[in-house]
Amino acid sequence: MRAIDWVDGHIRFLDQTLLPHEERFVDTTDVAVVAEAIRSLRIRGAPAIGVAAGFGVVVAVRTAAANGAGDIRGAALEAIDELASTRPTAVNLFYALSRMRTIVLHHPGGRSLGAALLAEARAMQDEDVAACDRIGRHGAALFNGRTRFLTHCNAGALATAGIGTAIGVITTAARQGHVERVFVDETRPLLQGARLTAWELRRAGIEAVLITDNAAGSVMRAAKVDAVIVGADRIAANGDAANKIGTYPVAVLARHHGIPFYVAAPLSTIDRALESGDAIPIEERAPEEISEWGGKRVTADGVRVFAPAFDVTPHDLITSIITDAGVLAPPYGPAIAAAFERR
C-alpha cells in the first residue's frame, strides 16, 4: 500500500480522514487539491507530506505548461510557496520544497522543467522507501524475544512513502518473531492511533491493543510495556524531537517506569539549523477539533480552546534515535553531526 504515489501523470493519495471505515484514493493534477489535503490531514505524516509536496510542484508545472503559461518557472515557485504555507512543523515538507526550488532556479526552463522536477520528486520518494527499510532493520536489531511495544500517533506506511518509521521498526521486528503485541494510544483529538495505527497493525497481522491516551501510565505500571517507540516531525540538532501532541507525557511516563523510549525518523527529519526544540514551530489546529465531536459541540459556548498539534520531547528523555544512518545514542549533538558526515 502506498498512501501517496505518482500514477500515469497524476498524484494518487489515500484519504486518511476516511479510515478505517473507507479506503478511498483520490487522483488529482491540481496543486490546490494537494495543499488542501495536507492542511486537512487527508495526507499526513512528515515524510509523506514531503513526497506529496514534491509531486504537487510537478502537477503545477504541468498544468501551467498545458495551459500555455509563459512563465512556467514562476508557476513552480508559486506552487512551492503555496505548499510551504500548509503546515509549519514537519521539516520534511520544507526539505522537499527546498530541493524542488533548487531544480527550478538552476534549470534553463521550458517544458523540460517538468521532467526534471518529476525526476527529483520520484528520487525523494525512492529515497524515503529506502530510508524506511533501513530504519526498520536498524531498529529491529535492538529487540529480541517477544517485545511488547507502546506507540503514539501513526508513523507507519500511511505517514511515509515506505513501510514507515516507528511502525516500520515494529513490522520488521514482527517478521523476525520479536513482537508480542503493540499497545496503541488512541491519540486525541483526531485519533490517529485508533483510526490509523491499529488499522495498519491489523493488516500486518500484529496484535494491536487500543488504549486511551490517559491509560498509558497504568499500562506501563502494570509491567506490560517493554519499549516505547514513536516517530517525529522535526528533530533539532541537540536531539529534541517534535511529535504528535501527547508524546512528551508518554516519554515522561516511560522514564519514570524505567522503559526505553525510542524515536524513529530519517535524517531528513533532523533540522540542524535549530539548536534545540525550543525553536521548533508548533502548529495550532482549529478549535473545533477539540470543542466538537462528530460535528456536534461538546463544550459550553465561550470556552476557549488551546489546540497544539505537536509537543517537544527533550533529548534527555530519549533512549536512542533510530535513523536510516543507524541508531544514534546520546550525546545527540555529536551523534547527529557524525551521521550526516557519514551520509
Q: Measure the CA dihedral 11/14/15/18, to 10°.
A: 160
> For residue range 15-32, what is the model confidence (pLDDT) as tens digits?
999 999 999 999 999 999
- 131: its cell numbers: 530510508
> For residue range 238-282, what is the model confidence (pLDDT) as tens digits?
999 999 999 999 999 999 999 999 999 999 999 999 999 999 999
Count the Cβ atoms, other than its own, within 10 Å of residue 304. 7
Cα distance between residue 95 and residue 109, in whole Å: 22
Q: If pLDDT is split at 50, 70 and 90, which confidence band does 205 have?
A: very high
Q: If pLDDT is split at 50, 70 and 90, which confidence band does 68 have?
A: confident
Query: Where are the chain's structural domains?
Result: 4-132, 138-342
> For residue range 136-151, what is the model confidence (pLDDT) as tens digits?
999 999 999 999 999 9
pLDDT at position 109 over 80:
no
pLDDT at position 69 over 90:
no
pLDDT for the residue 294: 86
Q: What is the DSSP string of 227-269?
A: EEEE--SEEETTS-EEEETTHHHHHHHHHHTT--EEEE--GGG
Please provide the CATH number assigned to the domain covering 138-342: 3.40.50.10470
> For residue range 168-204, what is the model confidence (pLDDT) as tens digits?
999 999 999 999 999 999 999 999 999 999 999 999 9
> For residue range 79-101, what is the model confidence (pLDDT) as tens digits?
999 999 999 999 999 999 999 99
| Domain at 4-132: CATH architecture | Up-down Bundle (1.20)
Residues recognised as catalytic = 233
Half-sphere exposure of 209 toward its Cβ, with a 13 Å CA cutoff? Answer: 13
